[in-house]
Amino acid sequence: MTRHAIWLLLLAFICPSVLGQMPPPSEDQIKMVFNRHYGQRLLFFKPGELPQEVERSHKPLVKELDKWVKLGLLNKEKTRFLAEKMMYGSMREVSVGGFKYDLNMENALVSEQGFYYGRPSIKQVFNVSKPSHLNANYFCEVYFSWFVSDQPEWLKKVKPSARSERLLRRAKESQNRPFEKRMYLAYVDGKWDLWLEKGDQPLF
């Protein structure tokens, strides 16, 4: 074997990208990218605008908010406030009895963002495309599934039913029915990372 051939073999082994044969990222590399950009993200849910005042007569809404109070995630207090009512053929402001709901900031699982319900974790990598070469860099598409880990006890107790709670319901069952996503990576400065020039790549 000639010296030239030996150098080509060494080059292919040490740096395949030089010969246009960039290997796709490994599963460990994909998980590192995911954890760097998504895995440390805390997920929160907020049941509407808070604080919120509700008339006592609005029983369905009161019942819906009361379930968060029972879980220790919201505070509730009696209040009176002005509301517009049709009286004698015209709209008038009248004093009504109600409840004021707000976040229970004394609960460690509650922040201004809402109720903490877990963090993203990658579950399975389905497919990794062959890296494409563009403008001196390499790019690939990763198709994978993820689920919500570190779910708190309150999420296990609640039964999300409202349309606004669909994400909570999906998060709760994501271990068995994980979310699916496509993520675009770029090989820059000797490592694979999220392709930032591709634009925002939200989880949901």
* 56-101 pLDDT, tens digit each: 989 999 999 999 999 999 999 999 877 766 666 667 677 788 999 9
pLDDT of residue 14: 42
**Are the C-beta atoms of 107 and 114 separated by less than 8 Å?**
no
Give the separation between CA 203 and CA 181, rounded to whole angstroms.
Answer: 7
At 6, is the pLDDT very low, low, confident or very high (cuts 50, 70, 90)?
A: very low
CA 51 to chain centre: 23
39, two tokens: 């895995």
Give the separation between CA 76 and CA 63, rounded to whole angstroms.
Answer: 12
Phi, psi of 73 (to 5 degrees): -100, -25
The more confident residue out of 94 and 145 is 145
Pairing of strands 137-149, 114-128: antiparallel
Which residues have CB under 8 Å from 30's CB, separation 6+?
Answer: 122, 125, 128, 142, 144, 183, 185, 192
Q: Tell me if residue 78 falls in helix, strand or coil.
A: strand
